[in-house]
Structure 1
Amino acid sequence: MKATPLISAQELSNLLKTASNVVVCDCRFELSNPQQGVNLYNAGHIPEARHVDLDQVLSTKGAAGEGRHPLPAREHFAQAMAAIGISDNTRVVCYDANDSMFAARLWWMLRWIGHDNVSVLDGGLLLWEQAGFPVTTEPPEPAREGRLSVRDSLTKTVGFEEVLANIDSAERLVVDARSPDRFRGENETLDPVGGHIPGAANRFFKDNLQPNGAFKDADTLRREISDSMNGQSPDRVISQCGSGVTACHNLLAMEVAGLSGAALYPGSWSQWSNTKDAPVAKG
């Protein structure tokens, strides 16, 4: 069953009252302090939500040449999701603090293993609390292990060599989700080299959001994202960022806008900038 890409706080509250097979995933994380996501979860989360960690579940450890957050094996990821109670027929709702960058990564990864019954809580925990819905410090009930199959992927990925070859062929458009200053090669604090992949366009993931952290409406997203695509069709777009996380935010926004079909470059700039002789553009 396919779910809508986004779900509002009110819709989630209604769902939790009426449906029995729902798993809510708290994806909060801080890149500068990897333990902080667990700390925030323990300090208060949506009742029965289960913490899903970027470092432990949504990525794996790899060499520098693989990027900061390489994708785990699809089978290993499915096993981790089954361990928190997710099965093939489970409705999954993901959230984080309020900008949905980590929730979007889980949304994309579940679709990557063929599970389309997943939504992101629009506006995250912030709008949930502002709407007056409860949070708790109580841990959830122990999960009954689910049965989650690895099915045909509903998403697409590309690797370093494909992106490199595309610089000359220009058959596809790389869209970089990082902030404009990092795209230009300024204020780079995470990776060894500043700049961007030659020929890439820039669509900062936070431009998908309203000031309160909720996503812009579908028509606005469709207009803005189409402008950043420079006339390219969605299925010829490669979404990229620093390490393959906020790129998923742009892919989620494209799904909301009805612009499906773009691919993720999981290694992103953290792989590119650690690869010898990879070309770099600035400005």
Structure 2
Amino acid sequence: MNFNKNSRSALINPIQMAQLIKNESVQVLFTHVAFPVSYVSKLDKPAFIPDSLFFDFDNVFVDKNSGLPHTLPTPEKFAAEMSKLGISNEATLIIYDDQGSFSAPRVWWMLTIMGHKNVYVLDGGIQAWIDAGFAVETELKKDVTNTHYQCRFNPNLQVTKEDIKRTLFNHERVVVDARSTARFNGIEPEPRPGVRSGHIPNSLNLHYAKLLEDGKFVDKTKIKTLFAPALQHQNKPLSFTCGSGVTACILALAAHEIGVDNWAVYDGSWSEWGADTDYPIE
């Protein structure tokens, strides 16, 4: 399948990615987060797409003063780190990870909210690239030239706990939780100490794993079916939450793929809400 840049899809396959790399100014970003996920990697040693840069949202692209695991940094901090990584505002960016399509959607959201144009996720990650027969390297690219990256922050793609609490009982927004059903229902304890079990009142549950199959996003028809309970509330904005803001972005990317634009990510997610006893739970 040839790549169509006029398509609104942010997901690309390896052949389309290779085509982009050949014909455009592309920078490739590898990301990883140390979460236990159901995806089982077939890799027995590190493997990266040639010239990949490491986008580290665990330790670098994060607000370390927030007290939360993966809080989005300020645009100023984000721009400074992008500049040090050698990223150009004009480049087409392609993100992939080594856990299928698990953490790359988080980076897609971060780049999108910071105003970068032409951002894509390699569906299926490094394994899809290898399965398509393309070459890999054993190390990431480290020799970079600093740039002067600039952000154009879009606040509409993010909600705070105050935003959600303010509309909690008037049903102005639909909150969709990407955690497992057991965690959502408070049956399974939270992995982080000091965080209560349960969920935000009146929220819906859509486990992110239902949107992925063998590390790739399911087809759009299935995505629409899975989103049907949330989309029956016509014209109401969707707010995506999870444990710490990572898998909520899988829901955000899936929504984007089926043409839903009225959404935002609750970055603090349950790590923040569940730890604050002033905020109600079910």
Structure showing the higher helix proportion among its residues? 1
Secondary structure, counterpart of 2:175 in structure 1: strand
Residue 22 of structure 1, aligned match among 26, 30, 37 = 26
Measure the CA separation in 1 of the matches of 2:66 and 2:153: 28
User: How far did 1:195 drift?
Assistant: 0.7
Aligned to 2:224: 222
Measure the CA separation in 1 of the matches of 2:62 and 2:233: 30
Cα 1:183–1:111 change in 2 (3 A) is same
Secondary structure, counterpart of 1:263 in structure 2: strand
Measure the CA separation in 2 of the matches of 1:230 and 1:9: 31
| Unaligned ranges ≥5, structure 1 | 33-39
Aligned to 1:84: 85
Measure the CA separation in 1 of the matches of 2:111 and 2:158: 14
Q: Is the 8 A contact 1:234 1:262 kept in 2?
A: no
Question: Any residues of structure 2 matched to 1:107-186 within 5 Å, and which?
Answer: 107-140=108-141, 142-153=143-154, 155-186=156-187
Measure the CA separation in 1 of the matches of 2:81 and 2:236: 30
Measure the CA separation in 2 of the matches of 1:148 and 1:264: 24
User: How far did 1:140 drift?
Assistant: 2.1
Could you report, residue by residue, the CA deviation over 1:28-82 in whole angstroms, capped at 9, with x for unpaired residues?
22137xxxxxxx9x82211100111121233222354xx3221111121122122
User: How far did 1:203 drift?
Assistant: 0.9
Aligned to 2:102: 101
Could you report, residue by residue, the CA deviation over 1:202-254 in whole angstroms, capped at 9, with x for unpaired residues?
111111122x22112223312321x1305124651111111111111100001
User: How far did 1:118 drift?
Assistant: 0.4
User: How far did 1:154 drift?
Assistant: 7.5
Cα 1:219–1:58 change in 2 (3 A) is farther
Paired AA for residue 12 in structure 2: I
Secondary structure, counterpart of 1:127 in structure 2: helix
Measure the CA separation in 2 of the matches of 1:16 and 1:130: 18
Cα 1:235–1:110 change in 2 (3 A) is farther
Q: Is the 8 A contact 1:9 1:127 kept in 2?
A: yes
**In the alignment, does 2:200 pair up with 1:197?**
yes
Cα 1:8–1:139 change in 2 (3 A) is same
Paired AA for residue 217 in structure 1: D
User: How far did 1:95 drift?
Assistant: 0.6
Cα 1:25–1:224 change in 2 (3 A) is same
Is 141-150 or 167-176 further displaced after alignment? 141-150
Measure the CA separation in 2 of the matches of 1:17 and 1:141: 21
Q: Is the 8 A contact 1:111 1:155 kept in 2?
A: no
Identity %: 34
Measure the CA separation in 2 of the matches of 1:214 and 1:166: 34
Aligned to 1:254: 255
Aligned to 1:12: 17
Q: Is the 8 A contact 2:46 2:139 kept in 1?
A: no
Task: Please report the TM-score for the alignment, with normalisation by the length of structure 1.
Answer: 0.87
Q: Is the 8 A contact 1:99 1:206 kept in 2?
A: no
Q: Which runs of 4+ in 1 moved over 3 A?
A: 1-4
| Unaligned ranges ≥5, structure 2 | 37-42
Q: Is the 8 A contact 2:101 2:217 kept in 1?
A: no
Measure the CA separation in 2 of the matches of 1:90 and 1:234: 34
Q: Is the 8 A contact 1:156 1:263 kept in 2?
A: yes
Q: Is the 8 A contact 2:168 2:202 kept in 1?
A: yes
User: How far did 1:15 drift?
Assistant: 2.0
**In the alignment, does 2:204 pair up with 1:208?**
no
Could you report, residue by residue, the CA deviation over 1:105-140 in whole angstroms, capped at 9, with x for unpaired residues?
110011111112100000111111111111111442
Measure the CA separation in 1 of the matches of 2:171 and 2:35: 33
Measure the CA separation in 2 of the matches of 1:245 and 1:139: 23
Cα 1:181–1:234 change in 2 (3 A) is farther
User: How far did 1:165 drift?
Assistant: 1.9
Measure the CA separation in 2 of the matches of 1:89 and 1:110: 13
**In the alignment, does 2:194 pair up with 1:187?**
no
Q: Is the 8 A contact 2:53 2:142 kept in 1?
A: no
Could you report, residue by residue, the CA deviation over 1:165-184 in whole angstroms, capped at 9, with x for unpaired residues?
22222211100011111111
